[in-house]
């Protein structure tokens, strides 16, 4: 018996030791951030979490109703991952670029954390050089202008101060900082944001990332997991162009929308190199934005591909509030209304043992 116990201990020890080697990039990560990172690493082995942007803020036909969620209306459960957007926080506005109140975002982040949900935050910051939107790509000098010695450096620091001040208010009832995933400077491989691939040099983009992470850490924020992100890419080399380094990043993520028949082949190819690269680096992997149409789009095509790899979550973008919707049927409609084929398909996806919603990750 004694021999058996000893053997058992020897067998158990390395397993525990291996789990604890998963650590976030931040050497000063809070215990809660470490716990979130390790929890995500373990969940990633069990299945793929479902995420939805702005799920708790509004839906297709409602605006900020207590405990409401389009996904819950449809499935009876919340997504496991809730996405929030902070664009225009940098301007000191009360509401985001999507007219969502930052005070209410804070309330929902707190509430969702209490329910053990996973929080991810995006930031479509305005163009600091032109004063126009994140999509203003009229100048290739924006990133350069906010880095050290650039004419917008001080202004950009003010923006980061506002972001940091807001992040510092994200605390639970015991005053502990709520851990979350932050995915700034997203879809770098595309050229539709002022920080996109052809809008700055690779070195400038790396500096932008490193500067942002260091700045937030110096503000005392150690509860953040950082997600590196690109849009559609075809090779690992393309994916990693602009990667700021393992000391800054916790998650390798990819955004890919269905824009044609080649989609699932390309997604399969990209998830293979992104997820294998994440595993080799002991980082997380996510399909941080995706969407498409078709009667078995979720339950068959998407799941068939995603099941092949270790993917922490996949996320659908927001259901734009529109009480009087015109019928829409484009890949950009992502998720519109909950009738007919979409509903049956999504419920099948929901019921698949591989997909994880909020109840599945308790
Ligand atoms: C985009 C669109 C925009 C929105 C932005 C930030 O992809 O949905 O309408 O303002 O995300 O949420």
Q: How far is CA 196 from CA 136, 231, 243, 325, in A?
A: 11, 10, 13, 32
Pairing of strands 355-356, 313-316: unpaired
Q: Give dist(CA 137, CA 79) in Å, integer.
A: 34
Task: Tell me the CA–centroid distance for residue 260 and ligand 1, in Å.
Answer: 21
Q: Give dist(CA 1, CA 91) in Å, integer.
A: 67
Nearest CA-CA partner of 255 in 281, 274, 280: 274
Which pLDDT belongs to residue 325?
60
Which pLDDT belongs to residue 59?
85
Task: Tell me the CA–centroid distance for residue 340 and ligand 1, in Å.
Answer: 26
Task: Tell me the CA–centroid distance for residue 147 and ligand 1, in Å.
Answer: 26
186 lines ligand 1 (CB under 6 A): no
The protein residue with its alpha carbon nearest to ligand 1, atom 4, reads: 98
Which pLDDT belongs to residue 326?
55
Confidence of residue 212 (pLDDT cuts 50, 70, 90): very high
Ligand 1 atom nearest 85 alpha carbon: 12
3-state DSSP: the chain helix, strand, coil percent, rounded to 5? 40, 15, 45
How is residue 333 annotated by DSSP? Answer: G
* % of the chain residues with pLDDT over 90: 83
In order, the DSSP letters of 83-120 are EEE-TTGGGT-SB-TTS-BHHHHHHHHHHHHHTT-EEE
Nearest CA-CA partner of 144 in 134, 156, 135, 132: 156
Lowest mean pLDDT across 18-27, 203-212, 265-274, 349-358: 18-27
124 lines ligand 1 (CB under 6 A): yes
How is residue 43 annotated by DSSP? Answer: H
85 lines ligand 1 (CB under 6 A): yes
- Rounded to the nearest 5 degrees, what angle is found at the Cα of 7, between the Cα atoms of 2 and 11? 150
Put simply, whether the predicted model's pTM sits higher than 0.95 gets the answer no
* Tens of pLDDT, residues 80-129: 999 999 999 999 999 999 999 999 999 999 999 999 999 999 999 999 99
Residue 81's DSSP bridge partners are: 51, 118
* Tens of pLDDT, residues 291-340: 888 889 999 999 999 999 999 999 999 888 876 665 554 333 455 545 55
Q: How many CA atoms lie within 13 A of 173 on its CB side?
A: 5
Residue of 318, 321, 332, 333 with the most ligand 1 atoms within 8 Å of its CB, for mutation: 318
Instruction: Tell me which residue has tokens 């215990």.
Output: 31
Confidence of residue 169 (pLDDT cuts 50, 70, 90): very high
Q: Is the pLDDT of residue 9 over 50?
A: no
Give the torsion sign (CA, 122, 127, 129, 131).
negative
Residue of 88, 98, 134 with the most ligand 1 atoms within 8 Å of its CB, for mutation: 98
**Token pair of 342 as six digits:** 């979409």
333 lines ligand 1 (CB under 6 A): no
Residue of 87, 124, 133 with the most ligand 1 atoms within 8 Å of its CB, for mutation: 124
Q: How far is CA 53 from CA 17, 19, 80, 319, in A?
A: 35, 30, 11, 8
In order, the DSSP letters of 214-242 are HHHHHTT---EEEEEEESS-SSHHHHTTT
Q: Give dist(CA 160, CA 217) in Å, integer.
A: 11
Task: Tell me the CA–centroid distance for residue 183 and ligand 1, in Å.
Answer: 14
Which pLDDT belongs to residue 16?
43
User: Higher-confidence residue: 12 or 147?
Assistant: 147
Nearest CA-CA partner of 212 in 271, 163, 139: 163
Ligand 1 atom nearest 289 alpha carbon: 7
Q: What does pLDDT average to over the chain?
A: 91
Task: Tell me the CA–centroid distance for residue 317 and ligand 1, in Å.
Answer: 8
Instruction: Tell me which residue has tokens 């270790």.
Output: 310
Lowest mean pLDDT across 16-20, 42-46, 70-74, 94-98: 16-20
88 lines ligand 1 (CB under 6 A): no
Confidence of residue 18 (pLDDT cuts 50, 70, 90): very low
DSSP-derived 3-state class of residue 82:
strand
Task: Tell me the CA–centroid distance for residue 27 and ligand 1, in Å.
Answer: 33
Confidence of residue 14 (pLDDT cuts 50, 70, 90): very low
Q: Give dist(CA 24, CA 30) in Å, integer.
A: 10
98 lines ligand 1 (CB under 6 A): yes
Q: How crowded is residue 276: how many other Cβ atoms within 10 Å of its Cβ? A: 15
Residue of 55, 97, 105, 334 with the most ligand 1 atoms within 8 Å of its CB, for mutation: 97
The protein residue with its alpha carbon nearest to ligand 1, atom 10, reads: 98
The protein residue with its alpha carbon nearest to ligand 1, atom 9, reads: 98
Q: How crowded is residue 326: how many other Cβ atoms within 10 Å of its Cβ? A: 6
Q: Give dist(CA 297, CA 106) in Å, integer.
A: 33
Helices and strands of the chain, counted as H and E runs: 11, 9
User: Do 134 and 127 form a contact (C-beta atoms < 8 A)?
Assistant: yes
DSSP-derived 3-state class of residue 266:
helix
Q: Is the pLDDT of residue 62 over 70?
A: yes
Which pLDDT belongs to residue 156?
98
Nearest CA-CA partner of 301 in 311, 288, 310, 291: 291
318 lines ligand 1 (CB under 6 A): yes
**Token pair of 266 as six digits:** 């390309």
Kind plus residue range of the DSSP H or E element containing 313: strand 313-316
């Amino acid at each position: 018996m004694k021999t058996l116990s000893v053997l058992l201990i020897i067998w158990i020890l390395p397993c525990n030791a291996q789990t604890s080697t998963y650590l976030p990039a931040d050497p000063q990560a809070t215990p809660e951030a470490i716990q979130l990172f390790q929890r995500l690493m373990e969940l990633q082995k069990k299945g793929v979490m479902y995420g939805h942007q702005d799920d708790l803020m509004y839906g297709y036909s409602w605006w900020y109703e207590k405990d409401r969620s389009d996904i819950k209306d449809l499935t009876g459960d919340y997504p496991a991952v809730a996405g929030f957007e902070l664009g225009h926080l940098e301007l000191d506005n009360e509401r985001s670029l999507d007219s969502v109140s930052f005070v209410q975002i804070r309330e929902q982040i707190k509430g969702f954390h209490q329910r053990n949900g996973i929080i991810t935050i995006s930031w479509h910051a305005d163009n600091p050089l032109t004063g126009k939107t994140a999509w203003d790509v009229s100048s290739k000098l924006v990133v350069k202008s906010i880095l050290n010695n650039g004419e917008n450096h001080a202004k950009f620091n003010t923006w980061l101060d506002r972001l940091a001040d807001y992040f510092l208010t994200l605390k639970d009832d015991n005053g502990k900082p709520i851990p979350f995933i932050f995915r700034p400077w997203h879809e770098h491989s595309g050229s539709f944001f002022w920080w996109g691939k052809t809008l700055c040099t690779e070195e400038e983009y790396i500096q932008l990332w490193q500067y942002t992470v260091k700045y937030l850490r110096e503000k005392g924020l150690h509860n953040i997991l950082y997600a590196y992100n690109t849009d559609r890419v075809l090779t690992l080399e393309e994916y990693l162009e602009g990667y700021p380094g393992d000391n800054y990043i916790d998650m390798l993520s990819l955004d890919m929308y269905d824009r044609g028949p080649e989609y699932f082949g390309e997604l399969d190819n990209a998830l293979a190199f992104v997820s294998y690269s994440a595993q080799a680096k002991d980082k997380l992997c996510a399909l941080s934005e995706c969407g498409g149409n078709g009667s078995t789009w979720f339950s068959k095509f998407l799941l068939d591909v995603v099941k092949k790899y270790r993917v922490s979550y996949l996320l659908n973008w927001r259901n734009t509030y529109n009480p009087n919707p015109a019928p829409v049927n484009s890949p950009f409609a992502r998720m519109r209304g909950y009738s007919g084929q979409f509903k049956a398909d999504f419920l099948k996806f929901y019921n698949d043992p591989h997909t994880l919603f909020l109840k599945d990750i308790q």
